[in-house]
Amino acid sequence: MSDSYLDHLPSKEREKIRKRMRSPEAYAALREKVKGPEDLEREMDRNEAMAELKFEMETQPALKEALKKQVEKDLREQGIEGILEKLPSPESQRALEQGKFQLSVASHPTTHHDQLVAVPEGNVQEKLPIKLSLCNQYLAQFVKAA
């Protein structure tokens, strides 16, 4: 007789777990989470490039300033909606428009992947993730330059 953890749960809870484990939707969702070798290799390459970018930004102020100037230029051309994933607070928006922000590499709040973020200066210290497409574009420029 097996002594699994299911044997120690009430019958209603056991049935919920079994139903959830049997559903095709749950199986499909589980299959989506499984990554193949190609996906893992791409993810590792991106993580390595982001770590390299973060290190270079911390050690080379000129690179950090050049990247900030590129983001400022894109902010003027495309607007805040075209650069950031979500609209910032009014105070942060003013700081961004005035160029009072720093760039950093930090974890994205929802995906938890490393990403380029803008951190406005001032009392409000929120991290504003830059759109993934632009982040990848900046990363490609950095890799090409390095």
Total domains in the fold of the chain:
1
pLDDT at position 74 over 60: yes
What's the pLDDT score for residue 5? 67
What's the pLDDT score for residue 1? 45
Residue 92 lies in a domain: yes
Residue 86 lies in a domain: yes
Residue 85 lies in a domain: yes
Predicted model pTM: 0.69
> Between these two residues, 83 and 5, which has the higher pLDDT value?
83
| Terminal Cα distance for the chain, rounded | 62
Largest CA distance in the chain: 70
How wide is the angle at C-alpha 104 spanned by C-alphas 100 and 105, nearest 5°? 155
What's the pLDDT score for residue 92? 86
Q: Which domain holds residue 124?
A: 61-145
Residue 42 lies in a domain: no
Residue 50 lies in a domain: no
Query: pLDDT (tens digit, 9 = 90+) per residue, 22-67?
Result: 778 877 877 777 878 898 899 899 899 999 999 999 999 998 999 9
Residue 141 lies in a domain: yes
Q: What are phi and psi of 103, to 5 degrees?
A: -105, 145
